[in-house]
Amino acid sequence: MKILKIDHVGVAVGSIDDGKTFWSDILGLDFAGEETVVSQKVKTAFFPVGESEVELLESTAPDGPVAKFIEKKGAGFQHIAFRVADIDDALAELKARNIQMIDEQPRPGAGGARIAFIHPKATGGILVELCERS
Whether 134 has a pLDDT exceeding 90, the answer reads no
CATH of domain 3-132: 3.10.180.10
Cα–Cα nearest to 99, from 82, 119, 116, 78: 119
For 85-108, what is each residue's pLDDT tens digit? 999 999 999 999 999 999 999 999
Domain boundaries defined on the chain: 3-132
* Model confidence pLDDT, tens digit, residues 34-60: 999 999 999 999 999 999 999 999 999
Distance CA 12, CA 55 (A): 9
Instruction: Give 20-25 contacts, CB < 8 A, sequence gap 24+.
Output: 20/45, 20/56, 23/47, 23/54, 23/56
